[in-house]
Structure 1
Amino acid sequence: MLQILGKTSSINVRKVLWTCTELGLSFEQEDWGAGFRSPDTAEFRALNPNAMVPVIRDGDFVLWESNSIIRYLAGRYHGESLYPADPYRRARCDQWIDWQASELNRAWSYAFLALVRHSAAHQDPQQIELSCANWSKHMAIVEKQLARTGAFIAGTAFSLADIPIALSINRWLETPLKHDDFPAITAYMTRLGEREGYRTYCRNGTP
């Protein structure tokens, strides 16, 4: 049985849970992270030296890093419809997965920690304003891409890339800041509402 270590409220754990739903995979989940068992232990660090969730155990195979995990699951469990074998289509999917991790996440980090987590170390008004503006700039990139495809982030079909992108959009929508009017994003999230994985795991880990 596939084991997923990490609490459902973690955006990166929800990537894995949603992917499992799309693939029809059964799994056992153990709650690790703030409010549950601490990953900063010798036991957990033996699995992930970074002491971060998620981690999966698939038999004797252990893997960490959420985007690596979802790619592995799609490759291991016949997820070609999510993660195409064709190198051109796969590269387009990878492009948006990597962009979400390297660019979009970096844009919203300060604003999210300030406005949602209320971190005392992230209360500089200028930095909050800058982060919000940068976040909106990146969301405009998503809006333009969705307007171009008229469907999903990497093209006309739902793919693995839609999972991290939709989770980031949800985080943007639920953060108390000024939200620009992005009709393609609104239509996209409505479209995704037809999917069980979205309904269960995209809204901060609650149905």
Structure 2
Amino acid sequence: MRRLWGRLSSVNVQKAVWGLEELGLPYERVEAGGAHGRVRDPDYLALNPNGLVPVLEEDGFVLWESNAILRHLAETHGRGGLWPQEPQARAHVNQWLDWQATAFTPAMRDAFWQTVRVPEAERDPAVIARSVAETEACAAILDAHLAGRAFAVGDHFTAADIALGCPAHRWLHLAVPRQPRPALEAWYARIAARPAAATVLLTPIT
């Protein structure tokens, strides 16, 4: 029995769901977080003391942190595909998973929160502008890396494309001014066309 806890509008839950869908693994998703609540309930905190989503349960095995879940799924079920066999390629997948978690998504957080969840009259333009500038710097790095590449690592779709693709989806659909990033946008269109991506990338940004 495989269960994933978390609301699909969460960018972190999206990574786990996309991984499960790409691998064709059966799972049950339980709504949690945001308006669904549950994350402060004692039974949920017993699974994840941080009170965050997602959480993966597999026959008594419990794992939290979205990139840890994505790594686990890819390494266990996606060897040679989502998780490359070649050690240096795997190292680069890990590099981009870490960069997404420590740079790309954190840079975007305030721009997302202010433009999506804060009423317009209460928004802070300076906070938005700072977050947009920080995210633009990350987008420039990713765009330069993707120039001449079909995917983030090597010649095939990997877990790195999932980890980067979910925040890229959010960034490209925020109501903020953005610089054109041809390589990033072409890569995003390519990965968004994958059947497994529809489950997460058609979800409204909320």
Shift of 1:41: 1.3
Give 2:196's aligned residue: 197
Q: Would the aligned equivalents of 2:161 and 2:191 in 1 still touch at CA under 8 Å? A: no
Match of 1:156 in 2: 155
Report the equivalent of 2:12: 12
Structure-to-structure mapping, 1:56-205, within 5 angstroms: 56-118=56-118, 123-148=123-148, 150-204=149-203
Larger relative helix fraction: 2
Q: Is the 8 A contact 1:166 1:202 kept in 2?
A: no
Aligned to 1:29: 29
What is the TM-score of this pair, normalised by structure 1?
A: 0.92
The amino acid that maps onto 2:124 is D
Alpha-carbon distance in structure 1 between the residues aligned to 2:107 and 2:168: 12
Unaligned runs of 5+ in 1: none
8 Å Cα contact 2:192/2:201 also seen in 1 = no
Secondary structure of residue in 1 paired with 2:142: helix
Q: What TM-score do you get using the length of structure 2 for normalisation?
A: 0.93
- Number of the residue aligned with 1:48: 48
Q: What's the CA shift string for 1:6-58, capped at 9, x where partnerless? A: 11111111111110111110101111111213201111000000000100110
Q: Name the CA distance, whole Å, in 2 between partners of 1:66 and 1:185.
A: 22
- Two-structure CA RMSD over aligned residues (Å): 1.8
Among all aligned residue pairs of Structure 1 and Structure 2, give the percentage whose two residues are the same amino acid. Answer: 36
Contact 1:73–1:79 (CA under 8 A) maintained in structure 2: no
Amino acid at match of 1:190: A
Amino acid at match of 1:118: V
Q: How many residues align?
A: 204
In 1, Cα distance between the equivalents of 2:138 and 2:187? 16
More displaced stretch, 44-53 vs 111-120: 111-120
Alignment-mate amino acid for residue 27 of structure 1? Y
1:61-85 deviations in Å (ceiling 9; x for gaps): 0000000001111122244311113
Paired residues of 2:16 and 2:69 also in contact (CA < 8 A): yes
**1:6 corresponds to which letter in structure 2?**
G
Bigger Cα displacement from structure 2, 111-120 vs 88-97? 111-120
